[in-house]
């Protein structure tokens, strides 16, 4: 019996406080969102890619480069909540999936190999949420609140904590302490999780740090962390956008 496909959803919101309209920011003649979509398409067979947008302007942009897109509510407070709307809509149409991968719309150079690795994990019928992390590259990232740090258990590679603060604050005997890790904003959810309870969940911890994954941990859902080779990461600022443009111009993807 063949496995069900994995659904990749790219939640895309037009307005961003740090970088306005970054989904449409030009990188080598293409909007950033198109780079993300095309990278996800390269994951290959076994994946279905869908963009979840919050406004007609982004729908028009998606139509221009031939993407599968769905107009979702503009009231969502998180990307995962937007993903849930797409999941529910497709389920109501009779479509079934082995799991859901949430890829941020500001990851223009997301590695198809990482998506395949996460997809393989979801195909095992494990019940853990899965995410990814890379080693922190410099001291500036350690202090940068835009760089989300993750502690990883030495015993089972599960997340012990996430924080925007200096990771020294969550060192313990149960956390891998020889190297700190930078969290990548990508999540995989197995279909056998109660996604209606998980996606869009909020707790005092998650609101304080503005990290929705803390809500999942507070609710008792384990998060497995795949440590991968350094990658470009997300575009959060004007400086990041200039780096992305230079990176694309060099053909480094």
For residue 146, what pLDDT is reported?
81
Q: What is the pLDDT of residues 157-192, one digit of tens each?
A: 899 889 888 766 655 545 545 567 899 989 999 999
Are 109 and 39 within 8 A, CB to CB? Answer: yes
Q: Answer yes or no: pTM beyond 0.85.
A: yes
For residue 173, what pLDDT is reported?
47
Neighbours of 209 (CB within 10 A): 17
Give residue limits of the domains in the chain: 6-249
For residue 104, what pLDDT is reported?
92
For residue 77, what pLDDT is reported?
83
User: Per CATH, is 6-249 categorized as 3.30.420.10?
Assistant: no
- Helix axes 32-41 and 112-122, enclosed angle (nearest 10): 50
End-to-end CA distance of the chain: 35
Query: How far is Cα 182 from Cα 176, in angstroms, rounded to an integer?
Result: 13
Q: What is the pLDDT of residues 192-217, one digit of tens each?
A: 999 999 998 899 989 988 899 999 99
User: Of 236, 241, 240, 242, whose CA–CA distance to 17 is shortest?
Assistant: 236
Regions of the chain short of the pLDDT cut 70: 1-2, 167-179, 252-253
Neighbours of 239 (CB within 10 A): 10
């Amino acid at each position: 019996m063949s496995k069900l496909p994995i659904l990749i959803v790219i939640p895309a919101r037009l307005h961003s406080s740090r970088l306005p309209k970054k989904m449409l920011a030009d990188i080598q003649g293409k909007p950033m969102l198109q780079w993300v979509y095309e990278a996800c398409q390269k994951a290959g067979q076994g994946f279905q890619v869908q963009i979840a947008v919050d406004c007609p302007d982004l729908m028009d942009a998606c139509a221009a480069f031939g993407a599968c897109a769905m107009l979702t509510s503009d009231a969502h407070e998180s990307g995962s909540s937007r993903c849930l709307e797409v999941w529910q809509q497709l389920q109501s149409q009779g479509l079934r999936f082995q799991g859901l991968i949430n890829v941020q719309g500001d990851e223009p150079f997301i590695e198809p190999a990482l998506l395949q690795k996460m997809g393989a994990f979801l195909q095992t019928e494990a019940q853990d949420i899965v995410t990814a992390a890379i080693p922190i590259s410099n001291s500036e990232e350690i202090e940068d609140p835009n760089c989300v740090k993750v502690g990883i258990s030495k015993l089972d590679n599960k997340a012990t904590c996430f924080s925007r603060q200096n990771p020294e604050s969550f060192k313990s005997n149960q956390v891998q302490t020889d190297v700190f890790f930078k969290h990548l904003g990508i999540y995989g959810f197995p279909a056998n999780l109660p996604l209606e309870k998980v996606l869009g969940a909020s707790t005092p911890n998650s609101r304080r740090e503005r990290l929705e994954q803390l809500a999942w941990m507070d609710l008792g859902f384990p998060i497995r962390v795949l440590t991968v080779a350094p990658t470009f990461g997300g575009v959060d600022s004007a400086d990041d956008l200039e780096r992305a443009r230079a990176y694309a111009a060099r053909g480094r993807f």
